[in-house]
Amino acid sequence: MSQNSSTRDSPAPMLGVLRPQIYRFKLGRFEVTQILDGFRVGPGPHPTFGQDQSAGNVHSLLQANGLPTANFEHHFVPTLVNTGKELVLFDTGNGMGRMPSAGHLRDLIAIAGYTPQQVDVVVITHAHPDHIGGLMHDGKPAYPNARVVFGKVEFDFWKRGEVRDARKQTLQQFQEIALPFGEKATFIKPEDDVVSGIHAVNAYGHSPGMLAFHVESDNQPLLIWGDVANHYVISIQRPDWATGFDDVKDMAIMSRKRILDMVATDKIAVAGFHMPFPSIGFVERSGPSYRWVPASYQFNL
């Protein structure tokens, strides 16, 4: 018997779930860091997902994929791209105070090896709270040296303020923390460049002016798709089922199907804000629809 085991006086403590929070990989000459701003565990996914389906239909699909039916875990994963010239952050997470299990992006950026001051550009895919919530920190810009980029259609929609009841709180948050950036922000439309190697892609529907972003270095492409698909099984295997989170449901379904077809056909890697961490994967055709295939070591080599 070893000395260690003979002097051991209590068993190791139970420590609970430990989730990885930072993952960095190479995309050509760029470096991409995925950061888990946080997660939310809640009831569902039905009826938020498969809103126009029976609970039974949704539960069968979940069970066929080895997932529980009563609760689900929703991840929030912003993407940081270092092009070698600029450090570009896509979405800012929930910010402090929205929920205890999220809002960790700014602290984790430091652990990943950067400072908030080093972020040159903050790009907002759309103005929902889990994407703009971290624009401010203690009442000041969280990334003080960054130029902020919004989609013009998206920003104008929220500025007009004509929203459905379920988005009244989102509107209020937009007015408080995103609108003040409007004077100095850059406004872009689909196909416009953010910086060299990164351009916007039309993903309208989940939010009226949501943008995805095509990132490419040395012929290696990555689509940062925001909330094109919000559940890695339901949204991808059944893209035409209605989702409670989608603001313009028909348009969201059209964008989802167009983008799933594009990334599957062209074998473009995806960074999906709500895909399971580290939220990098591929979409493969499967029967009449698709399935999510998480990336493994392809990008580490």
Residues making contact with Zn ion (CB under 5 A): 130, 227
Distance, in Å, from the CA atom of 184 to the CA atom of 202, rounded to the nearest integer, reads 23
C-alpha 209/C-alpha 19 separation (Å) is: 32
Q: What is the DSSP string of 238-286?
A: STTS-BTT-SSHHHHHHHHHHHHHHHHHTT-EEE-TTSSTT-EEEEEEE
31 or 227: whose CB is closer to Zn ion? 227
Q: Distance from first CA to last CA of the chain, Å, rounded?
A: 42
* Closest approach of Zn ion to the CB of residue 128, in Å: 5
Q: Which is nearer to Zn ion, 77 or 283 (CB)?
A: 77
Closer residue to Zn ion in complex, CB, 130/246: 130
How far, in whole angstroms, is CA 166 from its chain's centroid? 21
Using alpha carbons, select from 124, 113, 126 the residue that is nearest to residue 135. Answer: 124
User: Shortest approach of Zn ion to residue 232 CB, angstroms?
Assistant: 13
E strand intervals along 100-210: 121-123, 136-137, 140-141, 147-151, 186-188, 193-195, 198-202
Least Å from the CB of residue 129 to Zn ion: 8
Give burial (CB, 10 Å; 0-12/13-18/19+) of 220: middle
> Cα angle at 171 between 173 and 270, to 5 degrees?
80
Minimum distance of Zn ion from residue 76's CB (angstroms):
7
CB of 301 vs Zn ion, minimal distance in Å? 31
Q: For residues 23 and 76, which CB has a smaller minimum distance to Zn ion in the complex?
A: 76
Nearer to Zn ion, 90 or 290 (CB): 90
In whole angstroms, how close is the CB of 273 to Zn ion at the nearest point? Answer: 6
Nearest to Zn ion of 26, 40 (CB atom): 40
Task: Provide, rounded to whole angstroms, the least separation between the CB of residue 120 and Zn ion.
Answer: 23
In sign, the C-alpha dihedral spanning 288, 289, 290, 291 is negative
* Residue (50 or 226) nearer to Zn ion, CB: 226
